[in-house]
Structure 1
Amino acid sequence: MKILDKYIIKSFTITFTSVFVILFFIFVLQGIWLFISELAGKDLDFFTIIKFLSFYAPTIVPLVLPLSVVLASIMTFGSFAENYEFAAMKSSGISLQRAMRMLTLFIFGLSIISFIFANNVIPKAQYKFLNLRKTIIQQRPAMAIAEGQFNPIGPAINIKVEKKTGANGQFLEDVTMHIKNTSAGLGANTVIKAKNGVLRSDENSNYLQLELLDGNYYENVIPKKYEERNKHPFAKSSFKKYILNIDLTKLNENNGDNGDITSEKMLTLNELNYTIDSLQNNYNKDIVSFAENTVQRNDYVFQLNRVQNIDKENNVDNILTVFSNTEKQKILEMAISNTSSTEFSIQNSQSDLEYKKKNINSHWVVVHEKFIIAFSCLLMFFIGAPLGAIIRKGGIGLPIVFAIVIFIAFHFMNTFGKKIAEEDTIPVALGMWISSIILTPLALFLTYRATNDIGIMINFDWLIDPIKKLFSRFSKN
């Protein structure tokens, strides 16, 4: 390796390391705000909080790494151009393409490392992160509930406790619970108020047991007739002891995208391929089974053979003429019943198949994410390095503006493509790689113009000159 290559790699490495550390620290702080409801006011020791954040930290690397690469590339090459170091290289016969050669190999190695990191480290961190939250709640059940505020537990339960006592805060005072009936969609349908409560858990169980003492139970009654709902009927009862089991896995359903820890994110590439194959086979079997059950339920083949036999025996054009009015009425009722049953079955099966298809798509999304992390390093480098050489600005001024704009565009397209791919609106591969497909031509364009010393300006004289001539004619007239 020549002295020039060592100098370029050293300059880039120092800038990249500084930028990565700063951005990583900023995103970790953002993670603290994301999980502040789980950390604040729940009597956790400092070591547990450090473990909590350390298991969360690897998940932000896919965000920090591309931004660090593009920003470090613009700053490094912009500084070379601003200080006329590229001019000195060109005067010595060294082109920009030659200057980027060893650094390109360095970025390629960084891409491989990022893929290995995404395939091995991030899944383990996700697994440990989820299990740490579960362990904390099992050992300290009161962590799931903070004092003086409503705490969401899953999609349907909110609980508020005025005071917690005991070694682990397991004894509760003045408990209020709102339980929403998700099927009705009419808000908090059940309210439970109790003077005292006790939280219990078992390390070998996924459930948290809440025992309420001396309380009242209020439930909205929804009449079948719509006009009776204006009376606001409700049922009230009192109890000495009321036991409620809370599924600990439901505690992860209200944390947004960054905190949503699903099983597919804990799998490596080989495990994902095996899981996707199993899910796809089950999905295909469900489709075949649904079609066969629909045919058997309606028994179309049997009915068709019967109609053909009657038609041949009686030589009639309308098959209904051979039945009496009573039989026609029964046939009509049977047809209506079969149609309604088939429609209900189709709707339920459609919802089930859509859910399974989304689950398959979610696994494919994670597969593509592992490769996108690696490719994004190369993409951001071939956008940032030539752009820095073209704008000829180093430091932390204009390069930060360009880097943020490029990264926001990349991240927005990634997020948008991921969402519509999971919903099966477009193919998963297209949705996940849409940002790379759009930005790769930009990287090639900037690299070509920078290596040929053309600059970023494009000649539009072929379009502007005819317009100028047209206006000059009008001005003369």
Structure 2
Amino acid sequence: MLKIIDKYILKRYLVTFIVMLLMFIPIGIVIDVSEKVNKMIENKVPFSAIAKYYLDFTIYFANLLFPIFLFLSVIWFTSKLANNTEIIAILSSGISFSRFLRPYIIGATIVSLFALIMSVFLVPNASAGFKDFRYRYLIGNGISEMRDDSDVFRQISKDEYIFVSSFNDVSKMAFNFSMEKFKDDKLQYKLTAGRIKWNPQDSTYTLYNYNKRKIGEFGDIIESGEKKDTVFNFDLEDLAPVVYIAETLNLRDLNKFIEKEKARGSSNINVYLVVLYKKYSIPVSAFILTIIAVAVSSMKRRGGMGANLAIGIILAFSFVFFDKIFGVLAEKSTMPPIIAVWIPNIVFGILAIYLLRNAKR
């Protein structure tokens, strides 16, 4: 009997979640099309680019809002079980509430694993396509806003630093360039240029109005000129990194990228760490939200499913609100990113334990 009940609940859990996704994603696409169609026509966006954008949009949208979809789907079908007095019948047969919860936990495990696989393998590519399309065709100044291209300061090696005041992505030109090399905290040389241009054909740079001062023990050596072609051990991304680069990397590349940025003393390191930690925190939220949803909706209420759905919507959007607020705090304040990312799970985990104890009673 228990296996039949487990299969029944697990099937309802997964089917309702999939139906919820299939129902809301087309609505999201329709709303997005209605908002952006004029901009797409104005920019003469190719149909193939639009089709790929909405494929990426589907994956990005599903990953972003899957906690809400999961929560509402569990609330929905568990409330139906409660209203049909099926839960009362199951518990009256001698099955404990903890045992009744087992198929929900199995379902949450399946969904969590699927969400983790998506965030590691599918979401980075979808995020790259989604963000690239928006910046290229839909956002104000387009491509020029894709990069953090003003007052860029980077540590490119253990003892080398570069700075540019601005970078033009169209002409591949940076302005007010400077490069300093140190040894044992002492300046070895400093190179400055009014402009520096990236030459993608041969991966070289052209300096304009440059000045190089090499510090010597008995005197400095100065070299200057109007133009010079040279090679550096940094690339375009070092001068003007894409603002959403961390979201487009798979787990392995993201870890390498973060280590590289830590060594360089990047000012955006907290942003990258938030992306990394959320790959793990979001799947865990599936368990917490499932327990809360079951605890809230397993009791038959006077308002029926409507009351349970109202409570569920409030809790679901509260979770998303907490997640966004603490994500921004991690990026903009001194709060450690790992703490900020996990606070919503901790708070709602405590709430889940409290509601579960009340539901058992």
The TM-score with structure 2 as length reference comes to 0.67
Distance change in 2, residues 1:412/1:108 (3 Å)? same
CA distance in structure 2 between the aligned counterparts of 1:40 and 1:395, rounded to whole angstroms = 46
Name the counterpart of 1:25. 26
Distance in 2, Cα, partners of 1:279 & 1:371:
21
1:244-393 equivalences in 2 (<5 Å): 262-283=244-265, 356-357=266-267, 359-392=268-301
1:373-396 Cα deviation digits (max 9, x unpaired): 201211110110111113548986
> Are 2:14 and 2:107, in contact at CA under 8 Å, matched by a contact in 1?
no
How far residue 153 of structure 1 moved from its aligned partner, in angstroms, is 4.7
Within 2, Cα distance between the matches of 1:411 and 1:380?
Answer: 11
* Bigger-Rg structure (1/2): 1
1:431 shift after superposition: 1.3
1:100 Cα offset (Å): 1.8
Distance 1:19 1:66, change over 3 A: same
**Are 2:11 and 1:10 aligned?**
yes
| SS of residue paired to 1:40 | helix
Deviation at 1:133, TM superposition (A): 6.8
TM-score (norm 1): 0.51
Q: Distance in 2 between matches of 1:396 and 1:81?
A: 9
Contact 1:365 1:428 in 2 (8 A): yes
Aligned-residue offset at 1:361: 0.5
| Alpha-carbon distance in 2 for matches of 1:425, 1:30 | 37
List runs of 5+ in structure 1 lacking aligned partners. Answer: 138-142, 146-150, 157-181, 184-204, 210-248, 254-259, 284-355, 455-477
Distance of aligned partners of 1:7 and 1:144 in 2 relative to their CA distance in 1, 3 Å threshold: closer
Alignment partner of 1:403 out of 303, 312, 320: 312
State the match for 1:470 in structure 2: none
Matched position secondary structure for 1:397: helix
Write the distance in 2 (CA, Å) between the matches of 1:46 and 1:402.
42
- Number of residues paired by the alignment? 273
Structure 1 residue 371: Cα displacement:
1.0
Identity %: 25
Pick from 445, 457, 461: which aligns with 2:354?
A: 445
Q: Is the 8 A contact 2:144 2:169 kept in 1?
A: no
List alignment gaps of at least 5 residues for structure 2. Answer: 152-167, 173-236
Matches within 5 A, 1:11-160: 11-32=12-33, 35-36=36-37, 38-130=39-131, 152-153=141-142
Q: Does 1:430 align with 2:339?
A: yes
Partner of 2:170: 207
Contact 2:81 2:87 in 1 (8 A): yes
Give the letter aligned to residue 9 of structure 2. I
Q: Per-residue deviation at 1:424?
A: 3.1
CA, structure 1 residues 34+62, in 2 after alignment: closer, same or farther (shift >3 Å)?
Answer: farther
Report if aligned partners of 1:11, 1:76 keep a CA contact under 8 Å in 2.
yes
Q: 1:409 deviation in Å?
A: 0.8
Contact 1:75–1:394 (CA under 8 A) maintained in structure 2: no
Contact 1:58 1:122 in 2 (8 A): yes
C-alpha deviation, 1:410, in angstroms: 0.8
Pick closer, same or farther for the CA change 1:30–1:65 going to 2, 3 Å. same
